[in-house]
Amino acid sequence: MPPASHPLRFRLEYAAFWVVAKLASTLPLELCATASAWCWRRLGRFSSRRRRAAMQLAESLPELDVRERETILSQVWDNLGRTFAEAFHICDFIENPSRFEILRETALREFAGSTKAFIIVSLHSANWELTALGLLRAGLRIAGIYRTIKNPYVDAYVTRLRQPLYPSALLPKSRQTPRRFLKLMRQGVPVAMMCDLREVRGVEVPFFGRPAPSTSFPALLAVADGLPILIVRTLRRPRSHFSFEWKVLQPVRGGASREDDVRATTALIQSCFEEWVRERPGEWMWVHRRWG
């Protein structure tokens, strides 16, 4: 438990969160997800992030008219609401394999079994929390990175919910994390990271035709040792069911410099993300600032 010196605001926020968490975990999964989606769709209309999401969507998909973009924004809030509720039922997904289908599962197991080392990357699409479940089901005991929540009480609670999906390690993002990841990789542990958010210390590569600051860490690891990149995502199906999709990318090597190869590999990853977001724009997290 975090130290007692945290502000009263954190304690009050956690009390409210705890009540919601207990209610959500008590309700049946599908009912909980449906109710949460309904709430988030309505609350999303008044969110300060709605304007940002609408602007980013309009700039990224200008070929859509206003009504089509409004439909996508509604789907975004619906998906966020369902993902929030489903987080309290992670054990339901682990215990009920029928809710989670791995596409080309045999091929994935063969890749994981025959490839000594590789990098795993994903994006905040559909229920991104469950992406790790597909890897776990394929026999991979992965380590992951997460961004800490400002409220330390809530952060500790959410970390406990996620922990079963990351049996090797679940590390908070910090300056020490890359070093710890490298140590895990040397021990043969597959490492996974979300790479679609804005990273001010990263490199700018095209994303929907505009320069987007992106993390270069997975590309740096892949280029340095010629490691393949396993890029994965979940696809939302009706009634809190999911499919797990994956593909393998090879790092770009042989350019004028290692920096050029890292930038090109980062661009390759983001290009794949863009392709996937275009396929299912309502399942991506447009509410986060991605450009600029």
Average pLDDT over residues 170-182: 89
pTM across the whole model: 0.94
Which amino acid type is present at position 196? D
Residue 163 predicted with pLDDT over 70: yes
Eight-state DSSP code of residue 148: P
Average pLDDT over residues 143-171: 95
Q: Residue 4: its pLDDT value, please?
A: 53
Residue 177 predicted with pLDDT over 80: yes
Q: Residue 130: its pLDDT value, please?
A: 97
Average pLDDT over residues 42-59: 95
Structure tokens at 99: 């809710």
Q: Residue 5: its pLDDT value, please?
A: 58
Average pLDDT over residues 192-200: 95
Average pLDDT over residues 63-85: 98
Percentage of the chain exceeding pLDDT 90: 91
Q: Residue 1: its pLDDT value, please?
A: 47
Contact 278, 71 (CB under 8 A): no
Least confident span in 74-88, 138-152, 228-242: 138-152
Reported as a pLDDT band with limits 50, 70 and 90, residue 76 is very high
Burial class (CB in 10 A: 0-12, 13-18, 19+), 159: middle
Residue 162 predicted with pLDDT over 90: yes
Reported as a pLDDT band with limits 50, 70 and 90, residue 14 is very high
How far lies 90's CA from each of 80, 161, 255, in Å? 15, 7, 43
Q: Residue 73: its pLDDT value, please?
A: 98
Tens of pLDDT along 110-124? 999 999 999 999 999
Q: Residue 114: its pLDDT value, please?
A: 95
CA dihedral 17, 21, 22, 28 (to 10 degrees): 150
Residue 108 predicted with pLDDT over 50: yes
Residue spans per domain, the chain: 8-283
Residue 58 predicted with pLDDT over 70: yes
Percentage of the chain exceeding pLDDT 70: 98
